Amino acid sequence: MSAAPLPGSPQVAYQDDALQVEGVALADLARRHGTPLFVYSKASMLEALAAYQRGFAGRKVKICYALKANSSLAILQTFARAGCGFDIVSGGELERVLAVGVRGADIIFSGVGKTRAEMRRALEAGIGCFNVESEAELEVLSEVASAAGKTAAISLRVNPNVDPKTHPYISTGLKGNKFGIAHERALEVYRRARELPGLRVAGIDCHIGSQITEVAPYLDAMDRILDLVAQIEAAGMPLAHIDFGGGLGISYNGEQPPAADALWQQLLARLDARGYGERQFMIEPGRSLVGNAGVCVSEVLYLKPGEAKNFCVIDAAMNDLPRPAMYQAFHAIVPVARGGGEPAHYDVVGPVCESGDWIGRDRSLAVRPGDLLAVLSAGAYCMSMASNYNTRGRAAEVLVDGGESFLIREREDVADQLRKEKLLP
């Protein structure tokens, strides 16, 4: 039987009814490394990146991977070797990027709550730019940079008040969101930035949300930001770069977001029409590079029939796959080996002691205890948001590269979790 690609990445496919990633059988990886197990396709990540690179051919663009989507070191290595910069939102993420040998100049620092210690460390590392998210942060960064005898390159993250038409928790560009500086205040804040010591105005930044599946919000945000660029530069403050953020969605359940190259063809046409086509650009994709590259393999523990519904209890839980509990998000769930008995409808749930610990609602599955299931599109915002709730160890991770597999994170055990804790005397 020929390979049958599933929704998401063509690198995740059945071969003779056995689910494989780049030709490596997930059942074999589960036997070797246990479950729950995250498995990533390197080819899928690089194919997603290539779509952006095609869209930007001949343009001055720096693609900065937003590592909050998945910050595992081997994945950062993969994007660094492919020429990416990095968008970070914490001091911990800064150390992760530096640990894989990335130059400070290839890092931009976003986030609404940067501490003085994080600012000092970022200045010490020589990062390329701070995306400043409030007037108060601007004043503090000026103090920190001046005290360190350094100059911080800054962009203001401007909130354009554009509805990205996504989940409220991952919408970031509306007036009611905590992110960025109000569009109406931006020019005045740029004037203040020009006056402050220790700062150098380098650009402007905008990010309206995540899992965006339509072009219109990007075009609306771009128009509002370019209007503002014209005002700022007319006031005597040239902007060396424009950062349009990230947020492009992926297909979890039949969504049809534009391909990255098609999206940017439209956006670049708008930029050209407005006279900004030769400007230096930055973008910060995350989910769209890694989301469909990952699967989580889990073992069926119990089948629990009930009067109202049936439950399929698996060994992965909300601490491993938090998106359903947090966002009511959908992930496709498929058998690792096809060809079981008659299917039944189940809520797929984990062992965590919470009614919110569900992975999928009302799924048709032909399964028995001991079978393996694969939760698809699990490359983004799963391992990076994983926790030790119920004293559960975080899962192991494997990267598949052209038929070879590499363990890139060992499974946590209880000793790992207890190591930093202290008993009372």
Q: Which whole number is the average pLDDT over 274-286?
A: 94
Average pLDDT along the chain:
93
**pLDDT tens digits along 159-192:** 887 765 544 433 444 455 666 888 899 999 999 9
Domain with CATH 3.20.20.10 in the chain: 42-287
**pLDDT tens digits along 6-21:** 877 889 999 999 999 9
Domain with CATH 2.40.37.10 in the chain: 4-41+291-418
**pLDDT tens digits along 234-277:** 999 999 999 999 889 999 988 889 999 999 999 999 999 999 99
Q: Which of 296, 312, 353, 382 is catalytic?
A: 353
The span from the CA of 332 to the CA of 340, in Å, is: 18
* CATH code given to domain 4-41+291-418: 2.40.37.10
Which is more confidently placed, 5 or 23? 23
Q: Is 206 a catalytic residue?
A: no
Q: Which whole number is the average pLDDT over 276-291?
A: 95
Known binding residues for pyridoxal 5'-phosphate:
247, 284-287, 381
Please compute Rg for the chain using Cα positions.
23
Instruction: Tell me how far the alpha carbon of residue 214 is from its chain's centroid.
Output: 18
Known binding residues for substrate:
287, 323, 327, 354, 381
**pTM here?**
0.94
**pLDDT tens digits along 128-150:** 999 999 999 999 999 999 999 99
Q: Which whole number is the average pLDDT over 366-382?
A: 97
Joined together, the tokens standing for residue 392 give 């559960």
The span from the CA of 209 to the CA of 212, in Å, is: 7
pLDDT given for residue 306 in this prediction:
84
**pLDDT tens digits along 45-81:** 999 999 999 999 999 999 999 999 999 999 999 999 9
CATH superfamily entry for domain 42-287: Alanine racemase (3.20.20.10)
- pLDDT class for 207, splitting at 50, 70, 90? confident
